[in-house]
Structure 1
Amino acid sequence: MRKQKTKLAKTLNMRYKVVVLQEETFEEKASFTGKLWYWITGVSSAAVIVVMLTIAFIRATPLREYVAGMSLNGFERSRLIEAYTRIDSMEQVAAANTIYLDNLRQVIAGQAGETLEQAGGQHIAGKTTNPAPPAVADVGLSKDELALRQLVESGAPYDLPENPEAAHTGISSYTFYSPIKGIISSNFSAKEQHYAVDIAVKLNEPVRTTLSGNVVFASYTPETGYVVIVQHSNNLLSLYKHCASIIKKVGSFVRGGEVIAFAGDTGELSTGPHLHFELWHNGNPVNPTDYIAF
């Protein structure tokens, strides 16, 4: 053991010379002399310095994102948590909207998820009929939902407010498009529970949405025929009933003045070609003639 230590010590203390020569002339340009342990210590120190500088460079630049095990600082961690929170909130809102639309379709039409493409109408002795209107099923609906559906089909989907003027608050600044031009055959009357205006028009006249919004219902009901409901901002709904055909699907975004259907005479409650138009704000009926010139 002692001989091995002595031999190792002699080896480490041996002097070595590193010479830099010119390749063609072999002229000596530089030389470095030192003991072996000097060279080992120098090379090791240089390697450690290079590794430390590399780590410091990676941590101070975006390169750290590509290195496994590099932890985020407090600011970046908070931003990441905030981003995940926003994504989660958006998912919850999207799920809630989906449930809302599904419930609205079921309550009004008694059927789930079935939308209507453009349906062709046939005029028979002054009456518009649509070939093979879809059946409206009551299966799966509760008693409350069935009762609410009956109110919707009869023209009264919501309770009347105690103060009718409260329904007018908040929408007076809107610029409404006229859904159709014609002669008003029946006015809005809360006393008679007629929460709409009926506009007598020619068959298949284009029906336009009164404001921009999203179509939340587009289907057939036995009493009111083909119906389109558009949800606007500020809890405002517009309803278009007794249409001959519909050209928008549920979920479609429509701009104010865009054609969404064609006027007709469908449904058991219809007495001739006309548009039954309703406005509801915060669940309360609004007289359309207060804001729209037909």
Structure 2
Amino acid sequence: MAKDTKEKRKFAKKLLHKYRMVVLNEDTFEERFSFRLTRLNVFVAVGLSAIILIIGTTILIAFTPLREYIPGYSSAKLKEDAANLAYKTDSLQTVLRLNEQYLNSIKSVLTGEFDQTKLNRDSVLNATSEEVEYGNLAPSRADSLLRSQVAQEDKYNILPTATDNLDFSLFPPVKGSISEPFNLKDGHYAVDVVVPKNAPVKAVADGRVIFAEWTAETGYVIIVEHSYGLISVYKHNSSLTKSQGEMVRAGEVIATAGSTGELSTGPHLHFELWNEGNPVDPTQYIDFK
């Protein structure tokens, strides 16, 4: 017991033993300054410095952007940006899917597999939404007859949104005589205009090219989507000057006339005009002479 007490006193004496640190000029050995130290003072100073350094580093990391550089830590801003990008990606995927369905419907017209409902954007959109059951809502026989009559009368009438707009007009795609007119009963939803080979084919209005490819039956085909729900179709061209996705202006050359495709018998332009998924007679709105 006495030995332990003696050791403790010896240790305490070492901690409190005073030392003098002197700084001398190396050349003149002149004393610049000096101060007294003890081992206890050194330990306390080093400990306090370490604690202050740790606290300062913690505050710096916790309340400054430096924390974003710590591996495995992500900022709230980055998480928000990632969530927004995920939402936008999902929306773009939906838009691309709907546009792909719409373009596939247009391609079915080019191959002769015509289904009017597939060319209506509203039909495409409604097909993707969930159907809700409301019970038995079947119309009566009189109602069905009336609906059928109205549908037949208005089926091939162009909507007033396109023709009643005073600022809206269509540019003739070509000038020439019509060899085969528009005929609903025979399924000829176009006018065939006789033109010289390689005659310029022009866009009837401002719009965006949604189809520009070669087909076996109708040769080089270009389709332009315009305002007011209008779509113009140009078939049997010898070449195309515009590609899918390009914007065109009214009167701008988009192709050269020809006689390409299995269904062509001579240089002419097969021109179709569609409004909201319904074919209309182009001669009612364009003067080809």
SS in 1 for 2:189: coil
1:243 offset after TM fit, Å? 1.8
How far apart are the structure 2 equivalents of 1:192 and 1:221?
A: 21
Aligned pair in 2 of structure 1 residues 90, 225: CA closer, same or farther (>3 Å)? closer
User: Aligned AA for 1:246?
Assistant: L
Aligned pair in 2 of structure 1 residues 169, 261: CA closer, same or farther (>3 Å)? same
How far apart are the structure 2 equivalents of 1:49 and 1:39?
A: 15
Counterpart for residue 83 of structure 1: 85
TM-score (norm 2): 0.65
> Structure 2: which 5+ residue stretches go unaligned?
121-150
Aligned residue among 270, 276, 281 for 1:282? 276
Moved more, 213-222 or 180-189: 180-189
Counterpart for residue 9 of structure 1: 12
Q: Is the 8 A contact 1:231 1:238 kept in 2?
A: yes
Aligned residue among 175, 179, 201 for 1:181? 175
How far apart are the structure 2 equivalents of 1:177 and 1:22?
A: 99
Aligned pair in 2 of structure 1 residues 38, 260: CA closer, same or farther (>3 Å)? same
Aligned pair in 2 of structure 1 residues 263, 44: CA closer, same or farther (>3 Å)? same
1:262-277 aligned at under 5 Å gives the runs: 262-267=256-261, 269-270=263-264, 272-277=266-271
User: Aligned AA for 1:216?
Assistant: F
1:274 offset after TM fit, Å? 1.8
How far apart are the structure 1 equivalents of 2:41 and 2:152?
A: 95
How far apart are the structure 1 equivalents of 2:88 and 2:261?
A: 45
Aligned pair in 2 of structure 1 residues 232, 4: CA closer, same or farther (>3 Å)? farther
User: Aligned AA for 2:161?
Assistant: T
How far apart are the structure 2 equivalents of 1:274 and 1:190?
A: 20
Deviations 1:72-116 (A, max 9, x none): 24x653343223322343345445545654x34763566xxxxxx
SS in 2 for 1:45: helix
How far apart are the structure 2 equivalents of 1:151 and 1:197?
A: 17
How far apart are the structure 2 equivalents of 1:158 and 1:95?
A: 15
How far apart are the structure 1 equivalents of 2:9 and 2:63?
A: 47
TM-score (norm 1): 0.64
User: Aligned AA for 2:13?
Assistant: K
Q: Is the 8 A contact 1:197 1:276 kept in 2?
A: yes
Counterpart for residue 253 of structure 1: 246
> Structure 1: which 5+ residue stretches go unaligned?
111-148
User: Aligned AA for 2:174?
Assistant: I
How far apart are the structure 2 equivalents of 1:234 and 1:47?
A: 74
Higher relative contact order (Cα pairs below 8 Å, separated by 6+ residues): 1
1:17 offset after TM fit, Å? 3.7
1:169 offset after TM fit, Å? 1.9
Two-structure CA RMSD over aligned residues (Å): 3.9
Counterpart for residue 135 of structure 2: none
Counterpart for residue 216 of structure 1: 211
SS in 2 for 1:203: coil
Counterpart for residue 137 of structure 2: none
Q: Is the 8 A contact 1:215 1:254 kept in 2?
A: no
Aligned pair in 2 of structure 1 residues 105, 77: CA closer, same or farther (>3 Å)? same
How far apart are the structure 2 equivalents of 1:278 and 1:76?
A: 50
1:283 offset after TM fit, Å? 0.8
User: Aligned AA for 1:214?
Assistant: V
2:48 is equivalent to residue 48 of structure 1: no
Aligned pair in 2 of structure 1 residues 272, 195: CA closer, same or farther (>3 Å)? same
User: Aligned AA for 1:242?
Assistant: H
How far apart are the structure 1 equivalents of 2:231 and 2:193?
A: 18
Aligned identity (percent) is 40
Aligned pair in 2 of structure 1 residues 17, 185: CA closer, same or farther (>3 Å)? farther
Aligned pair in 2 of structure 1 residues 158, 70: CA closer, same or farther (>3 Å)? closer
Q: Is the 8 A contact 1:218 1:248 kept in 2?
A: no
